[in-house]
Amino acid sequence: MVREFMDDEVTPVIVDEAFKLHRDLGPGLLESVYRTLLAHRLWQRGLIV
């Protein structure tokens, strides 16, 4: 089931996952790695990326 989110619902989820990802992996990886993994984590949270 697809659900539409308002910006104020989605923004905290994206920021939270981005911080968690950077905390888990640390600095120094290519942007493409962070982007791919962030998209996967957002998908796991129910967002279509």
The residue type of 7 is D
Per-residue pLDDT reduced to its tens digit, 1-49:
666 777 788 999 999 999 999 999 999 999 999 999 999 999 999 898 8
Count of domains for the chain: 1
Is position 1 within any domain?
Answer: no
Contacts of 25 (CB under 8 A, 6+ apart): 33, 34, 37
Q: Write down the pLDDT at residue 4.
A: 74
Distance between CA atoms of 40 and 49, rounded to whole angstroms? 8
Is position 11 within any domain?
Answer: yes
Q: Write down the pLDDT at residue 49.
A: 86
Is position 28 within any domain?
Answer: yes
Is position 49 within any domain?
Answer: no
Is position 2 within any domain?
Answer: no
Q: Which domain covers residue 20, as residue numbers?
A: 7-44
| CB 26, CB 37: distance < 8 Å | no
Is position 12 within any domain?
Answer: yes
Distance of CA 46 to the CA centre of its chain: 11
- Number of helical (H) and strand (E) elements in the chain, helices listed first: 2, 0
Is position 21 within any domain?
Answer: yes
